[in-house]
Amino acid sequence: MIILKSRDEIRKMALASRIVGEVLLKLKEATAPGITTDDLNRMADEMIRQKKGVPTFIGYRGYPKALCTSVNEEVVHGIPGKRVLKEGDIIGIDLGVTFEGFVGDSAITVLVGKVSAEVERLVRVTAESLDRAIEMVRVDARLGDVGFAVQSHAEANGFSVVRDFVGHGIGRNMHEEPQVPNFGKPGTGLRIQEGMVLAIEPMVNMGTWETEILKDGWTVVTKDRKWSAHFEHTVACTAEGPIVLTRV
């Protein structure tokens, strides 16, 4: 069942989402060679609680941390730990916050110092593919339009799109219907309605689209270990068009 949100509920979702956006911005500024993924997690946890939010990921299906931190060939759901970031790495930082009963969910991929030109292109194209997808979030557009926006831009640039994980509806729960694939055909799929709130989250790979899960049960990596980038925003569909709730 798809739960449509009223204007008032979207206003509340904007409050949770703003915390997510603000914390991610701080984490981006803090990302540098020499810090660990646990350092980022600790900072996130403190900032969220200071803002009276709750880290949504902690305890979700037993997940232990506030953040997911996915480095280089890790696609999503990397668990923060002792890993030290080094110049040339990229790190996907994914965060969910619950505030007054509603959830916001967003992710960014950050360059650690100077990265190779090809990796920089991967990250830029992934961010662009999310922007293009967001533009499709309009009344009477289709989810296939959203997926096609991501897939066509990524593939035109020689990259591939992950199939095994998709975006999602979001509201009082982090994961609601519908699923939001990052691939599809224009004019197909579910019709987008006013009041839908979607977490759109393209995962784009330099090599194969195929993934596998490491033995920790969480970390998703590319099958060929080539690098991957991930961006996510929580987006509300209104009569006036899309509102990106997690953009600060």
Map the footprint of Co ion across residues 67-126, applying CB under 5 A: 105
Query: How near is the Cβ of 105 to Co ion at its closest, in Å?
Result: 4
Query: How near is the Cβ of 242 to Co ion at its closest, in Å?
Result: 17
Query: How near is the Cβ of 232 to Co ion at its closest, in Å?
Result: 5
Give, rounded to a whole angstrom, the gap between the first and last alpha carbons of the chain. Answer: 30
Would you say 186 and 174 are in contact if contact means Cβ atoms under 8 Å apart?
no
Which string of x and - marks every residue 175-214 that binds Co ion (by CB under 5 A)? ------------------------x---------------
Q: Is the CB of 75 or the CB of 199 nearer to Co ion?
A: 199
Q: Is the CB of 39 or the CB of 105 nearer to Co ion?
A: 105
Q: Is the CB of 20 or the CB of 221 nearer to Co ion?
A: 20
Q: Is the CB of 199 or the CB of 203 nearer to Co ion?
A: 199
Radius of gyration of the chain (CA): 17
Contact call for residue 39 and Co ion (CB under 5 A): no
Contact call for residue 145 and Co ion (CB under 5 A): no
Contact call for residue 220 and Co ion (CB under 5 A): no
Number of residues lying near Co ion (CB under 5 A): 2
Of 56, 115, 108, 63, nearest to 85 by C-alpha is: 115
**Would you tell me which residues interact with Co ion (CB under 5 A)?**
105, 199
